[in-house]
Structure 1
Amino acid sequence: MSLSLYSAAEFRKRAIAQTQTITADSWRDTGDAKLNPATIPHVEEMKLKDAAVLVAAIDEGEDARLIFTQRTATLRKHSGQIAFPGGAVDDEDHDVEAAAAREAEEEIGLDRRLVEPVGRLPDYMALSGFRITPVLAVVRPGFSLNLNPTEVADVFEVPLSFLMDPANHEMGSGVWLGSERHYYRMPYEGRNIWGITAGIVRVIYERLYA
């Protein structure tokens, strides 16, 4: 039987295939960078800190679900926003996959032994000062979560089929450093997925499903 287009097995296959095509310049041609080419020279001049986020697809049923968090309102950066679990890469992390899995375990209690990294996306160069590597992973179902209340206010799941439908990718704009900047947003059941997180989701669509 052929795999469902949005199953975790198909996500794994596509993640592996596209990871092999990533170059040092791939970030320029996808997602928010493609929407805002004028920001590229600015971000290239910045000294960026390395970070990683875990894009975790739950391996259950024919429509995998991605795990999202809502950050607490008290955090210094991106407070209250929807995000993938993740954070800064520490010296003891042997690679970005380890960093993403560690951060997910610290933030939401996701057992890293259940996390299977299957690929990466091009780095996301954030104007907030981070070089973010999205780590694509498949997660075995049946896990339990324990949220870190200082970082995470809530956690929820969104079907991959919803996120990979470009009809659900709305456009917004705002002013950054005196210039208009465009961004994606994907409202889902009263939650507003936007900014960096929606930009990463858009890159998943562009590189795996478009």
Structure 2
Amino acid sequence: MRGGPAPSAPIEVSGKGLPEWLVPVSDAAAGVEASQLSRFLPPRDGGGRPSAVLVLFGDGVRGPELLLIERASSLRSHAGQPSFPGGALDPEDGDPEGDGRLRAALREAEEETGLDPSGVQVFGILPSLYIPVSGFVVTPVLGWWRRRTPVAPVDPAETARVFTVPVSDLTDPVNRAMAVHPAGHVGPAFLVGSALVWGFTAGLIDRILHHAGWERPWDRDRRVPLDWKA
């Protein structure tokens, strides 16, 4: 893994040196429970495919921001959907109950966006959650982009684009709504630029904003379809 830690090396999880604005996220991560993040919890029988996503915060031109990707429209699952970088654990990532989750998040982020993992400071790990439609048990890994490197889609067949979203856009009530899935499911969504962020990613962002104390009152009765541009 270019620039990243060797698979056998432990990955430090530390909140030291974080910018002041990021401390509320670090503090919230230290005490939040899975049930406070989602109603979809990992199967009690240990089933589900272990995976991880990198929730990467950085300092941008417009202040604090999050790194997201847009999945390629040709993919079989979650095609065209904005998401955090991430994916399933590989055997070489190691222990799925330990550092394997951290290595997977960093490895997948590098494979999808080209970022240098050595510039990422892991400062927290959120409880694992479940995505029923895919059977993934997802561990959100929180990172601080302390040394930024260029990012762009590495494989267009998997990643359509890589982009950042200012936290101020995510907290702006004008950009918030509830997305309505064709099957009838309803969940938090963010209309940011040309993207509609919904599903697991939007749900996790929604809870992070809430528990960090960043959430602003917004209209939960506002509904948008997934094909909101149509």
**TM-score relative to the length of structure 1:** 0.79
Query: What displacement does 1:43 show?
Result: 6.0
Whole-angstrom CA distance in 2 between matches of 1:122 and 1:169: 25
Q: What is residue 7 of structure 2 aligned with on the other side?
A: none
User: Which residue of the partner structure matches residue 24 of structure 2?
Assistant: 14
- Counterparts of 2:141 and 2:181 in 1: how far apart (Å)? 28
The CA deviation string for residues 162-204 of structure 1, in whole angstroms up to 9 with x for no partner, is: 213455331133365xxx4321110111211111110111121
- The structure carrying a bigger helix percent of its residues is 1
Shift of the alpha carbon at 1:136? 1.1
Could you say if the C-alpha distance between residues 53 and 11 of structure 1 is closer, same or farther in structure 2, counting changes exceeding 3 Å? farther
1:189 has 2:196 as partner: no
Q: RMSD across aligned C-alpha pairs, in angstroms? A: 2.5
CA–CA separation in structure 1 for the residues paired with 2:192 and 2:152: 23
1:124 aligns with 2:124: no
**Which has the larger displacement, 144-153 or 167-176?**
167-176
> 1:75 aligns to what SS in structure 2?
coil
Answering whether residue 136 of structure 2 is matched by residue 107 of structure 1, we say no
Distance 2:87 2:21 in 1: 23
8 A contact 1:69–1:156 mirrored in 2 = yes
Note if contact 2:120-2:147 (Cα within 8 Å) is conserved in structure 1: no
SS at the partner of 2:91? coil
Do 2:72 and 2:157's aligned partners in 1 also have CA atoms closer than 8 Å?
A: yes
Specify the alignment match of 1:135 in structure 2.
Answer: 141
Aligned residues: 190
CA distance in 2, matches of 1:161, 1:81: 21
- Deviation of 1:20 (Å): 2.0
Shift of 1:142: 4.2
> Pick from 170, 174, 191: which aligns with 2:177?
170
CA displacement at 1:131 relative to structure 2:
1.1
The match for 1:153 among 160, 164, 178 is 160
Please report how far the alpha carbon of residue 81 of structure 1 lies from its aligned counterpart in structure 2 after TM superposition. Answer: 0.6
Letter in 2 for 1:163: L
Deviation at 1:45, TM superposition (A): 7.2
**Whole-angstrom distance in 2 between the partners of 1:165 and 1:55:** 19
2:14 equivalent in structure 1: none
Does the 8 Å CA contact 1:59/1:141 hold for their aligned counterparts? no
CA distance in 1, matches of 2:149, 2:137: 29
Distance 2:20 2:44 in 1: 34
The TM-score with structure 2 as length reference comes to: 0.73
**By how many angstroms is 1:146 displaced?**
4.0
Residues in 2 aligned to 1:75 and 1:46: alpha-carbon distance in whole angstroms: 27
1:106–1:61 Cα change, 3 Å: same
Question: How far did residue 100 of structure 1 move?
Answer: 0.6
Structure 1 residues 11, 124: closer, same or farther in 2, change over 3 A?
A: farther
